[in-house]
Amino acid sequence: MLDVTAAQDGRLNRPAGIRSIRLGDTTVTYLPDGDVRLRPLQLLPDSTAEVWAAHPEYLDAAGRLVGSVGGLLVEHGGRALLIDTGFGPQTLAAPDGPLDVIHGGALLHNLAELGRVPQDIEAVAFTHLHSDHLGWACHVVPGGDRPVFAHADHLVSGPEWEGRDLLEAQGAAEQVAALAPHVRTIGDGQEVFPGVRARITPGHTPGHAEYVITGGGRRLIAFGDAVHSPIQIDHPEWSAAFDHDLARTAEHRRRLVAELAEPDTIGFGVHFADVVFGHVRQDGDGPAWKPLDA
């Protein structure tokens, strides 16, 4: 089911800007780095042309699915954690396949807009080791010679780091090498920051992680690439072409959709369009993503 408000104001086919929510004493902010345009039928091969024709609100003028690229800033008691670091100052276009074009570069500017500098980030926690999440962690400070977040611990799930040879084989060897000196592995259920716990949810990658942030009687689930688009909330059986284990990801996504419908539970979809924060509303037509601030 479509969230009518989001469709009417065009938020489903534009990338997200800076958006913040409060969870008690914790502030959680989406930090945009750029955006991504995807070929919908290639990204979600179980979808159909008829589905997309019926839901043009998700697509840009060229028929591409619009997504956001960025990170999630978590602030508590003067401290700061960053979950994922966007794509970095680069652009990548592909002539075919799921990806049309992706670009980044704005994350540090948006961090400054919030009155923060990279040195304020005490740790960077990664959902997984794909290039659109490693981004700035593998790029040097403009005008410098060290990676932007070289001062911070780089938190990676144990299974994800142990399986890095798969990522290296997929062309990420240079990025993995850049991260290696700073990596600290984390386990399922581990608290990585006040009120923030990791949970390992394999499927999209062998060691994909989500982060559950609690405060003020609510919880937020930063679910990484378990879901790429809000339309998958209505179709959790649709796995993405980028998923390592399609069946396992679909199984997890079904559980996640049910969990996001529970009271006082918020979801964060890093690749969603301008609806990154929301929850699932259950009604007679099935689950639907409802933007938190719509």
CB 106 within 8 A of CB 112: no
What is the spatial distance between Cα 237 and Cα 259, in angstroms, rounded to a whole number? 16
pLDDT band at 42 (very low <50, low <70, confident <90, very high): very high
Per-residue pLDDT tens over the stretch 111-154:
999 999 999 999 999 999 999 999 999 988 777 778 899 999 99
Chain mean pLDDT for the chain: 93
CA 96 to chain centre: 23
DSSP 213: E
Domain ranges across the chain: 4-291
> Amino acid letter at 53?
A
Mean pLDDT of the 178-206 span? 95
pTM: 0.94
What 3-state class would DSSP assign to 91?
A: strand
Return the bridge partners of 290, or none.
Answer: 279
Per-residue pLDDT tens over the stretch 211-234:
999 999 999 999 999 999 999 999
- Least Cα distance to 69 among 42, 45, 36 occurs for 36
DSSP 223: -
Any idea how long the chain is? 294
Alpha-carbon Rg for the chain, nearest whole angstrom, is 18
Mean pLDDT of the 183-210 span? 97
Q: pLDDT at position 2, please? A: 45
- Its CATH architecture, for the domain 4-291, is 4-Layer Sandwich (3.60)
**Which residue's entry shows tokens 């009417």?**
8
Task: Give the CA diameter of the chain.
Answer: 56
CB neighbour burial string for 255-294, b if at least 16 within 10 angstroms, e if fewer: ebbeebbeeeebbbbbbbbbbbbbbbbeeeeebbbbbeeb
| Of the candidate ranges 84-93, 162-171, 204-213, 253-262, the one whose mean pLDDT is the lowest | 162-171
